[in-house]
């Protein structure tokens, strides 16, 4: 069984659409966030295909949510940020700096780029 088969496509699709609705995002903006074709994101939103793990992690990081929740597991949706003085995620740290959504996206894209060079 591949990693993609372990993802419940229907639950992922439902939760991705929920996130998009709650945050005013579109298929186009999600495609930009994860650097993918809009048609691929559309297929995710209708449950036709399942994303790979790095894509799930990128989306979860952007929305500062638990990737397991996005995959359909019965866990808390938001990342647990108990320590108010010290953000425990990059996204939380960037939000604390009062950056625009576009600035946060650019920084996250750069981090993803740097991490991709490690392989």
* Number of domains forming the structure of the chain: 1
pTM equals: 0.64
Q: Which domain holds residue 110?
A: 3-116
DSSP track, the chain: --HHHHS-HHHHHHHHHHHHHHHT--HHHHHHHHT--HHHHHHHHTTSS---HHHHHHHHHHHTB-HHHHTT-SS-SB-----TTS-SSHHHHHHHTT--HHHHHHHHHHHHHHHHTT-
Query: Could you read off the pLDDT tens digit of each residue along the chain, which spans 119 residues?
Result: 344 446 789 999 999 999 999 999 999 999 988 889 999 999 999 999 999 888 998 999 899 999 989 988 888 888 765 444 444 566 666 666 677 778 877 887 877 777 777 65
**Each residue of 70-88: pLDDT tens digit?**
988 888 888 765 444 444 5
* CATH at residue 70: 1.10.260.40
**Each residue of 85-97: pLDDT tens digit?**
444 566 666 666 6
């Amino acid at each position: 069984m591949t990693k993609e088969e372990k993802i419940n496509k229907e639950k992922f699709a439902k939760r991705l659409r929920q996130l998009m609705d709650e945050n005013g995002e579109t298929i186009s903006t999600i495609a930009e966030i994860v650097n993918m074709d809009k048609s691929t994101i559309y297929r995710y939103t209708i449950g036709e295909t399942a994303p790979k793990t790095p894509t799930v992690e990128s989306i979860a990081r952007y929305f500062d949510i638990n990737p397991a929740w996005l995959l359909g597991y019965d866990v808390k949706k938001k990342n647990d940020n108990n320590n108010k003085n010290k953000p425990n995620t990059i996204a939380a740290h960037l939000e604390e700096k009062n950056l625009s959504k576009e600035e946060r996206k650019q920084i996250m894209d750069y981090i993803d780029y740097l991490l991709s060079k490690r392989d």
